[in-house]
Chains A and B, each alone.
Chain A
């Protein structure tokens, strides 16, 4: 009961925040300004390197890893999978052309009235060609995503919220509300850790700033020993704050991805990434 009260309180605060800003572009500029003010020494285009933009010690470690990053094995595996024909003779290229499409996702589908992520599109490509869908968080889907992100490097994040469809804005707003709502037994919002707490340590681990957070997915995490998707990470964060986890590629996380990726509009795609 008390917990519900606290969650409600958080939701009210999130709403208070959202009413402060009138539209997504104002939100984005305020979001960007928050981080550029907090970390004035960090060049804007370095935020896409996540924690390494603000933690020189961790950056040295990461740069050594990047000399031959562990995700290269996943890119190769993803490429092989991408070029393997389906049973019906078609392949991923019938859905995605050359596959360099990361910059087109996530997008709002005005007919289906939902956010379409790249991983969702990968599985829909499979099922529409008579193949079994892949599991969402790791394995083949993360490898395909790693390959497609790799060949999409250099594209610019450009999430659109169609002005002629108020439901797109509503989806964005729900994602935003999710982002600022305190949740779980530990009562953290996404922004508590990756906004307010960004750059400061939990023990000696610095928390990454949220600006540029979506540019480098999927990520090979040393903790996972493999590449995993953005929604896998969302789930991990939610578990760490001892909150209810939502289904990967369910409405909640897709709308969260929609909001969070919009916040990084203008940043360069540089996935896949390597993280601790």
Chain B
């Protein structure tokens, strides 16, 4: 499952929107059957790369909603450029996705 992302040029800035599939478990909940605490499992970092360098980064805590949504505007990329997004979570799992600026 890849990160779903869209990038659009708007008023000279690139607007990037991304949706990720992730539980974003806070570590504060308990299993309703066993009563055992459910370990925290959440994305920690999302990075957007453009032409080999970092354009934007988001550090996420467990208070980001399940299936995280992220949007940001940045200047730099041009229409037709490809942006790469990737995340890593606190268990070391990763995922990535791409968007071409429209």
Question: Which residues of chain A have a CB within 8 Å of any CB of chain B?
Answer: 67-68, 70, 72-73, 76-77, 222, 225
A26 to B18, CA, bound (A): 47
Quick one: which of B21, B66, B69 contacts A68, CB cutoff 8 A?
B69
Q: A72-B19, A73-B4, A73-B21 are in contact. List 20 more A-B contacts (CB 8 A).
A: A67-B17, A67-B71, A68-B6, A68-B17, A68-B18, A68-B19, A68-B69, A68-B71, A70-B19, A70-B67, A70-B69, A72-B4, A73-B1, A73-B19, A73-B67, A76-B4, A77-B1, A222-B65, A225-B66, A225-B67
Given the complex, which residues of A lie within 8 Å of B4, measured CB to CB? 72-73, 76
| 15 A-B pairs with C-beta separation under 8 A | A67-B71, A68-B6, A68-B18, A68-B19, A68-B69, A68-B71, A70-B19, A72-B4, A72-B19, A73-B19, A73-B21, A73-B67, A76-B4, A77-B1, A222-B65
Question: Which residues of chain B have a CB within 8 Å of any CB of chain A?
Answer: 1, 4, 6, 17-19, 21, 65-67, 69, 71
A109 to B18, CA, bound (A): 43
Given the complex, which residues of A lie within 8 Å of B19, measured CB to CB? 68, 70, 72-73
Given the complex, which residues of B lie within 8 Å of A222, measured CB to CB? 65
CB distance from A221 to the nearest CB of B (A): 11
**Tally of A-B Cβ pairs under 8 angstroms:** 23
Given the complex, which residues of A lie within 8 Å of B66, measured CB to CB? 225
A76 to B17, CA, bound (A): 16
User: For A72, A73, A77, A222, which residue has the most chain B Cβ atoms within 10 angstroms?
Assistant: A73
A225 to B71, CA, bound (A): 20
Q: What are the 3 closest A-B residue pairs judged by CB atoms, nearest first?
A: A225-B66, A68-B17, A70-B67
A68 to B65, CA, bound (A): 14
